[in-house]
Structure 1
Amino acid sequence: MIILQIRFLLVFVFSFYFCSGQDMPKIEKRVYTTKFLGDLAAPVIDGILTDASWDIVDWTGDYIENLPEENTEPIEQTKFKIVYDKEFIYFGFRCYDKDPKGIVKRLSRRDGFEGDWIEINISSHYDKLTAFSFAASVAGVKSDGFISDNGKTWEGNWNPIWYLKTNIDNEGWTAEIKIPLSQLKFSDAPEQIWGLQSTRRYFRTEERSLWQRIPLDAPGWVSEFGELHGLIALSPQRQIEIQPFVLSKLETYPREDGNPFKKGRDFNLNGGLDAKIAITNDLTLNLTVNPDFGQVEADPAAIVLDGFQIFYDERRPFFVENKNIFNYTFADDQDNLFYSRRIGRKPYGRFNISNGSFVSVPNNTNILGAAKFSGKTKNGWSIGILESVTDSEYAKIQENGQAGKELVEPLTNYFVGRAQKDFNNRNSYIGAIFTATNRNLEADFLNFMHKSAYTVGVDFMHNWNNRKYYFKGNFIASRVNGSEEAITATQKSISHLFQRTDAGHLTVNSSRTSLAGIGGKFETGKASVGNWRYRGGIIWRSPELELNDIGFLRQADEIKQYAFLSYETLKPFGIFRKITTNLEQLANFDFEGNYNKMQYTLSSDIVLKNNWNFIFSAIYKPVNYSNSILQGGPRFRYSEDFFKSVSIISDSRKKLRYNVNIYDNKGKNDSFSYSELNLALVYQPINAFMFSVNPALSLNKNKLQYINQTHFNIIPRYITANLVQHTLSTSIRLDYNINPNLTIQYYGQPFISRVKYNHFSRVINPTASYYGDRVSLYNHNQIHFNKTENKYEIDEDMNDQIDYSIQNPDFSFVQFRSNLVARWEYIPGSEIFLVWSQGIVANGNPNESLISELNSQILGKKPANTFLIKITYRFTL
């Protein structure tokens, strides 16, 4: 079967290569020549282009429309000038507008991209892959980011120092931008050429126009830039930036009588620093000592019933900057050799305490320090080295009147080394990565952790025919070392499940002290030219592959084949602005050759000329087996299912806008179902204030939901039941922008999930075609609920003796999290944060309604509060 799927993939992909098709028309590269200011005074950044220094260069304009109708004349034209001196590069923009009163001046916090704006992209390495982005809204709001992977990735948490002023006059609006050369990375060549692009958003018609034309079927973004000439004898600015911070934190929470760790309030005064040192003109050393990320928004709530870990995005600034260099996504979107959320994680240690004892466990592991050396050289080398040390963490214990502590997280060192080299006129690259995790396991009861973990990977990509076609791939290998206890636990973990009873290729070896695995991916396809795109590939993860010490791996023991075909319109027609339709097929196998999944996906994204958006998708799974659902038990069959979703997105330019998302999934014979209604409502009554609310209600039903496993006469029993889960959540956001540098934001999310089970059963034929034949239901003579002990007692052979019992799995989880953050950038690069966070976490009553739980567990309880003041100051040396 695997060979048949690979043959299908090869036929699917390579048949396109021999089909006739047009080539990308040659688009002339635009060139702008700047000049050095010399003895002339630099422009005053006031938004008014009257300085004599602007007169030494010519205007460039003639923007071309990109969206909605590519390669046509835009509604309004734009032009700009560029000059530079020894320390700064300056941009002056003139954005014409026949109706200056109609210009939309929406305020937002940094990186908001609201209203009318102008953007400049600078590829100072001119590597056809990466660029720096600076955008200026007419309201004076700055947006900036780092572009990588030829425009596929835009990292918005990069916040450089730069200066902006705008002005509206009777011709439209103008902007002046001053960017320190120290914020850019470039070579030391005596005369340089940089990639250059500029985009204008004309808000009223949601039009985008470009300085350098880039067709919609182009192979990427950065590779198609125009050029900036005239950069002669630039002096790299190897400056040092030091940003110390001082933080005071007050925490209040409900007091617990007798608990020495719950006195009702805690106060902490702390400090640390971040530093950025330019080692060379294109390589930077970032340092952080005792960092605190108290102003970072909390993760959204979620309930997991399948046992797998949840992937959360990184939001901490130190780890986000230059994230693209360290990134090594080797398989699916989330599988990565470096998952920075592992650094500073919640302590994993566990210990036993007697009843009546009190314990206080840290919420996270303290990062003693971290250093990151990264950048890209003029020869096309991307280099990244990250070193971080996290402290030993102890739980405080009060037991029998005696104070003590237990180690819950050892002193740990994390290392990541990454390198990548561009060649073949930047059309190809080859790279490598190495990661290492080493723990000081000074206590025997931490032997369930790996003592060390190492991964290595090699990746490559080649584009040809003007980037019309591509081929890319990677190989990875991992090794973890530890005690017999640790390696046995890894073999039995949800990601591996070597104890599966029907897996002929797997077995648990409790004497092993290491595991080594491999993985990889190959993909090839067509990336540009015309309406059609396609790709196909194969991914594999061997059973012993393990990445979760510093990376992220959901599941090993998998071989996946996939094929993707897309058609997108390149010109508006009728009422349609753009339509993109995708067809995808994938098949999964394990390393024993079991055929576990076949899936077909059809989706379409329709944008109307009135800027409304409709997204439809349908997923059909005729074959669907799981190696993990019984968590060590045999392979289990899901019924074939059909998933449908519809999303309606209103015009984002309106002050009142909304999204409606409907999801529905049904298993054959109604064996399981999932329905969700998700609504997002945004109201912006004035330019400075925005309110949004995002309620979501879901209903999850599964007649064969796995609960637990036990034994009867030494024979395993895998218990399932009929699941009914209701979940209600609402995300609320308020944004008030006093000015571009002073903003107030609120985020709150009540979350309630109620789970109830009935009709208990045991698995008897896990791969039966009909879902009812996979289990045997307990009859009323076999199962009895013991209210006193809150458990189900089972007499399987009906001999009036309890054979085994199941703790009542019903539960209700209630959580409320909120953040109120006032941020003031009082001088460029230096900030003051005032933060108020609230939190409630409770186990509710599963017999109550969701609304009753909202009243009793959230509105009726005293929350924990955190009040935080953080002040940073950036020194430039």
Structure 2
Amino acid sequence: MFKEKLTFSFICLLATFLSFSQAQKKTLQTKFCSEKITIDGKFDEPIWKTAAIATDFIMIAPNNGDPEKNNRRSEVKIVYDNEAIYVAATMYDDEPKKILRELTTRDEFGSADHFGIFFNGYNDGQQEFRFYVSAAGVQQDCVYTEANGEDFSLNSIWDSKTSITDYGWTIELKIPYAAVRFSDEKKQTWGLNMYREVYRDRFQYSWNLIDINLQTEANQAGILEGIENIKTPTRLFLIPYTSYYLSGNDSNKTKGEFKGGLDVKYGINDAFTLDAILVPDFGQAAFDRVELNLGPFEQQFAENRPFFTEGTDLFNKGNLFYSRRIGGEPSVQPTLSSDEDFIEYPSTVNLLNALKVSGRTKGGLGIGILNAVTEKTDAIIRNNITGETRNELIEPLANFNLFVLDQRFRQNSSVSFINTNVTRNGEYRDANVSALIYDLNTKKNTFNLSGDYKFSHVNDYLLDNRNGYNTSINLGKTKGKYRYSVGSQYFSEKWDNNDLGINFQTNYHAVYGNASYRIIKPTKTFNTLNVQTNLYSEFNNTTGSIQEASININFNSTNKRNDYHGFGLNTRPVAVYDYYEPRSEDNSKFLIVPRRIGGNYFFSSNYAKKFALDFGPSISFFDEKDRLNFNLLVSPRYRFSDKLLLIYSSRFSRQVNDIGWIDFDNSDNAILAKRNRNTYTNTLSGKYAINDLITFNLSIRHYWSYAINKEILTLKDDGTFETNTNYNKNRNSNFNTWNMDLSFSWWFAPGSQMSILYRNNSSLFAREFNKKIGSNFRDSVNQENLNHILSVSIRYFIDYNSAKNWFSKK
């Protein structure tokens, strides 16, 4: 029946795919340049006097579709030679002294005016290489796709120079062909768009209209013509690095360690790129924001390692890939006897090497391959009676592989196939997951039909092999003021993608819907306004019991002063059955969770002002005596100058009479506790920029969370609970983490960086504790508990096209 409904829905939507004519696209004619252009922001080369001008920009926001005013007009010229595209842009401004130009690190926008240029070398509406420059001269570059938006992990080598004038500001750019992708055709036709932001007013413009009625952007670009007889360059980049780490704490002697390695980037052809890391070093990646986890699921961490964040839009298809599995926690848990303890247990597995190949053909076929190998890892176990030690395998040599095919067509639709595979050496768990995904849009981007079918196979030598699947379908209107969608999802009981992905719940099906209204033009009160309602319900496949039900209404707006206000109401209108909190092996036990109603508010003042504030309270009331949740965020920020910015954030949350699992009794029955939990998170971040290439950055976080059990409970078979007077273990929790990173970054040559990082951290857990924030903070930063690391890393970028001249005769 489900397949029949899916087929019928698919046919109905295909019937609406009519041939609508697209809006007229602007065209800019470029010309070949035979003279040398110096990137100085002055436009004093003769070629700029005869180049065609792109002007008449159109507002994206707030007044979508309005033409730019003459006193703030934008004029852009583009020429090319055999090695690069050159851009000269003039942004007129009737008040040039008010142009904002905060200095930031690369790829951070900050409070500054910006100009951007977007190139699509295939003119297929699928992928754009976007290059932004702020009025302060800071570069940002990214790859844009409709599925993943802007991916700023791209770090290409290109040149830019800005200048503030008495009539506005100018920028001159040189973008080598190695920084974009295009075909080998003799006559080139590229997709082209340009962007400008006047930050003090939050006015955004584009050269070719970007209609915000539509959800797509790349296929609303204009056209660049006139490029002929250019060759795709050899794209071979070598990035050798060396690092030195000095680490220690009060209980261990200070030790030093040298590391070295090599990153390789190679353009296989005009479309495909090979990235490889040999002897990786991620020692300067940002720290994880660890929390006290009292729930049934693992904490999910953001990926901070550059290799796994750069150019991964293809690999994120279908949400099957959680890169932290590679080099993450060991997968094998050894069994200890009663007189044994671990004396060494690595928390992560070393990554030996990794590579990825990705790109897209002229016909729109995207291909991605990612492979990584992690090393065999042992724990050391000691017998407390005999003193003998032994090694126990906790992770065998393992290979992680991801393969993606993504066929795009008609500039706004795609069908994808994804496969993930984890193979461990020896008789250990292996896994394979495959998925077919579709994302279909009408010609005019009015309706969308999307969905997937995913299949998992786990081969576990200790357990039976398991096959599982999940599937979903979603149909929605995606254009105009009023939008809506409906969908459903099904997870089988044995669905398991957790070897290279992450998933928390199985054995349920869900149905959901949402509707929204937004204004297209500003009103007297609002620059933007979006009202959205969501309905969601989830049912257990085995029992049919309702696992989750929610209704949400959210209002999001920006007023005429560009301050953001958002608030929402949410409710769980019925009691639901939680099959995960009891933590039974077969998920047969459940806990009944009561009805809930709550609300939230969030305010964020205009960041264009020197002082700005984020403020957000939320509260939830449960249909259970004296049970509630409360959260409060206060985060002021102050921009002392274009060079110095400080941001402080304080978040407090309190759970009153929360009920959760704490242990099992001798019969493996779940022991619960009614508990109060308080959490305090305080962070301080700062930036001081000497110029657009040299910055100091500070990041401090103190996290403190404690839970005190007020009443011990035993879970009954009907999902309710009763008081347990026999359990007398102390299962209170007190957890502190402290992290401080102070770093210096210097881009001393194109693509080459020296970074110095001082880091200290601590992590403390206790059952016995006091509730004074001062003493918990002092314990966290006590010298006896701190680990210290000082690291220096130098990465040098070598472009083959430049390096080959080092050895040639002059």
Shorter-chain TM range is over 0.9
Structure 1 residue 709: Cα displacement: 2.6
Equivalent residue for 1:395? 379
Distance 1:473 1:845, change over 3 A: closer
Equivalent residue for 1:463? 441
Question: Contact 1:347/1:409 (CA < 8 Å) preserved in 2?
Answer: yes
Equivalent residue for 2:247? 251
Structure 1 residue 820: Cα displacement: 1.4
Distance 1:558 1:328, change over 3 A: farther
Distance 1:670 1:198, change over 3 A: farther
Structure 1 residue 650: Cα displacement: 0.7
Question: Contact 1:814/1:844 (CA < 8 Å) preserved in 2?
Answer: no
Structure 1 residue 520: Cα displacement: 1.5
* Deviations 1:304-360 (CA, angstroms, capped at 9, x unpaired): 22220222222221111221111123xxxxxx2111111111334444388797723
Q: Is the aligned partner of 1:826 residue 2:778?
A: no
Equivalent residue for 2:534? 584
Equivalent residue for 1:333? none
Q: Which moved more, 1:400-409 or 1:350-359?
A: 350-359
Distance 1:223 1:166, change over 3 A: same
Structure 1 residue 850: Cα displacement: 3.9
Q: Gaps spanning 5+ residues in structure 2: where?
A: 801-810
CA distance in 2, matches of 1:569, 1:240: 48
Q: Is the aligned partner of 1:345 residue 2:328?
A: yes
Alignment of 1:40-189 (within 5 A): 40-75=34-69, 76-114=72-110, 115-149=112-146, 153-189=149-185
Question: Contact 1:440/1:451 (CA < 8 Å) preserved in 2?
Answer: no
CA distance in 2, matches of 1:464, 1:749: 47
Aligned length: 785
Which amino acid is the alignment partner of residue 229 of structure 2? A
* Deviations 1:669-698 (CA, angstroms, capped at 9, x unpaired): 336321011111111111001101111111
CA distance in 2, matches of 1:368, 1:16: 47
Structure 1 residue 847: Cα displacement: 4.3
Q: Is the aligned partner of 1:407 residue 2:388?
A: no
Identity of aligned residues (%): 25
CA distance in 1, matches of 2:658, 2:194: 56
Equivalent residue for 1:645? 600
CA distance in 1, matches of 2:13, 2:182: 40
Question: Contact 1:47/1:175 (CA < 8 Å) preserved in 2?
Answer: yes
Selected match of 1:734 from 686, 695, 701 = 686
Q: Which moved more, 1:837-846 or 1:558-567?
A: 837-846
Alignment of 1:631-710 (within 5 A): 631-632=583-584, 633-670=588-625, 672-710=627-665
* Deviations 1:219-260 (CA, angstroms, capped at 9, x unpaired): 3111111111112122111221010111111111121xxxxx
CA distance in 2, matches of 1:672, 1:565: 31
Distance 1:24 1:622, change over 3 A: farther
* Deviations 1:686-732 (CA, angstroms, capped at 9, x unpaired): 10011011111110123532222324xx6x63322211001111111
Distance 1:531 1:219, change over 3 A: same
SS of alignment partner, residue 780 of structure 2? helix
Question: Contact 1:83/1:89 (CA < 8 Å) preserved in 2?
Answer: yes
Structure 1 residue 285: Cα displacement: 0.7
CA distance in 2, matches of 1:11, 1:368: 49
Distance 1:11 1:369, change over 3 A: closer
- Normalising by structure 2, we get a TM-score of 0.92
Question: Contact 1:462/1:472 (CA < 8 Å) preserved in 2?
Answer: yes
CA distance in 1, matches of 2:442, 2:497: 33
Structure 1 residue 131: Cα displacement: 1.0
CA distance in 2, matches of 1:217, 1:874: 42
Equivalent residue for 1:867? 790
Which amino acid is the alignment partner of residue 509 of structure 2? I
Selected match of 2:287 from 285, 295, 298 = 298
CA distance in 1, matches of 2:214, 2:742: 43
Selected match of 2:417 from 412, 432, 446 = 432
Equivalent residue for 1:613? 564
Equivalent residue for 1:790? none
Distance 1:382 1:742, change over 3 A: same
Equivalent residue for 2:521? 571
Equivalent residue for 1:382? 366
CA distance in 1, matches of 2:14, 2:411: 23
SS of alignment partner, residue 200 of structure 2? helix
Question: Contact 1:693/1:731 (CA < 8 Å) preserved in 2?
Answer: yes
Distance 1:282 1:735, change over 3 A: same
Selected match of 2:578 from 626, 639, 647 = 626
Question: Contact 2:10/2:449 (CA < 8 Å) preserved in 1?
Answer: no
CA distance in 2, matches of 1:581, 1:426: 29
CA distance in 2, matches of 1:86, 1:10: 51
Question: Contact 1:671/1:703 (CA < 8 Å) preserved in 2?
Answer: no
| RMSD, aligned α-carbons | 2.6
Which amino acid is the alignment partner of residue 338 of structure 1? F
CA distance in 2, matches of 1:127, 1:248: 46
CA distance in 2, matches of 1:721, 1:835: 43
Which amino acid is the alignment partner of residue 436 of structure 2? V
CA distance in 2, matches of 1:97, 1:842: 55
CA distance in 1, matches of 2:389, 2:791: 29
Question: Contact 1:13/1:524 (CA < 8 Å) preserved in 2?
Answer: no
Which amino acid is the alignment partner of residue 647 of structure 1? F
Distance 1:363 1:162, change over 3 A: farther
CA distance in 2, matches of 1:665, 1:867: 44
Q: Gaps spanning 5+ residues in structure 1: where?
A: 256-262, 330-335, 442-446, 488-511, 768-773, 784-793, 795-804
Question: Contact 1:164/1:178 (CA < 8 Å) preserved in 2?
Answer: yes
CA distance in 1, matches of 2:288, 2:472: 30
CA distance in 2, matches of 1:846, 1:136: 54
Q: Is the aligned partner of 1:843 residue 2:765?
A: yes
CA distance in 2, matches of 1:358, 1:467: 58
Alignment of 1:672-821 (within 5 A): 672-711=627-666, 717-764=669-716, 766-767=718-719, 774-778=720-724, 783=725, 794=726, 805=727, 807-821=729-743
Alignment of 1:521-540 (within 5 A): 521-528=472-479, 530-540=480-490
Equivalent residue for 1:502? none
Question: Contact 1:303/1:753 (CA < 8 Å) preserved in 2?
Answer: yes
Alignment of 1:448-597 (within 5 A): 450-484=428-462, 487=463, 512=464, 514-528=465-479, 530-592=480-542, 593-597=544-548
Selected match of 2:262 from 252, 273, 276 = 273
Equivalent residue for 2:313? 324
Question: Contact 2:212/2:520 (CA < 8 Å) preserved in 1?
Answer: yes
CA distance in 2, matches of 1:745, 1:413: 36
SS of alignment partner, residue 205 of structure 1? coil
Q: Which moved more, 1:592-601 or 1:754-763?
A: 592-601
CA distance in 2, matches of 1:776, 1:534: 44
Q: Which moved more, 1:853-862 or 1:26-35?
A: 853-862
Q: Which moved more, 1:349-358 or 1:464-473?
A: 349-358
